[in-house]
Amino acid sequence: MDVNIFEIFLRVVDFAVPIVIMIFIGLMGAGMLIELGVMKKFSGIARPLFKYTNLPDSCASTFLVALGSTVAANSMVLKLKESECLENKEVILCASLNSTPAYFREILTYQIPIVLPALGLIVGGFY
């Protein structure tokens, strides 16, 4: 069996580069939207969810960012904490709420397109 390491490396790079580019574009886009203040304008969408938590509107903005990237959302929470807009209890609750969209995003980006075709409808559905 003749294994060409260079050919395997090229195949891995060919597979990984588009994924890395999409991740980079997504994180840069989310970061730009955060810095330009666009996400704060959309915080009204998540405001009903946060109305009962007594958290500031900035936490609703981070929740919307978490739909795209949990890392970007929690970075936003850290920035709010450092600028003394949030207290420690608010940071913990806000970061916990930011982890919720990750499960729905995983279902749409991993479970349905990868697991279901690989395992089949019945086994993949149980998984």
Q: Spell out the domain ranges in the chain.
A: 5-126
- Sorted by sequence, the CB contacts under 8 Å of residue 63 that are 6+ apart come out as 46, 49, 50, 73, 94, 97, 98, 100, 101
pTM beyond 0.85: no
Residues 3-48 have pLDDT tens digits of 788 999 998 888 888 777 877 777 787 778 778 877 677 767 777 7
Among the listed residues 61, 66, 70, the one whose alpha carbon sits nearest the alpha carbon of residue 36: 61
Q: What is the DSSP string of 39-53?
A: HHHTHHHHHHHHTTT
- How confident is the model at residue 62, as a pLDDT? 85
Give the pLDDT of residue 60: 83
pLDDT of the residue at 67: 81
Reduced DSSP (H G I as helix, E B as strand, rest coil) percent helix, strand, coil of the chain, to 5: 80, 0, 20
What is the average pLDDT across 46-60?
Answer: 81
Asked if residue 1 has pLDDT above 60, the reply is: no
For residue 96, the SS3 value is helix
pLDDT of residue 91: 92
Written as six digits, the tokens of 18 are: 């588009």
* 40 CB-side CA count, 13 A: 11
pLDDT in tens, 86-116: 999 999 999 998 888 888 877 777 777 777 7
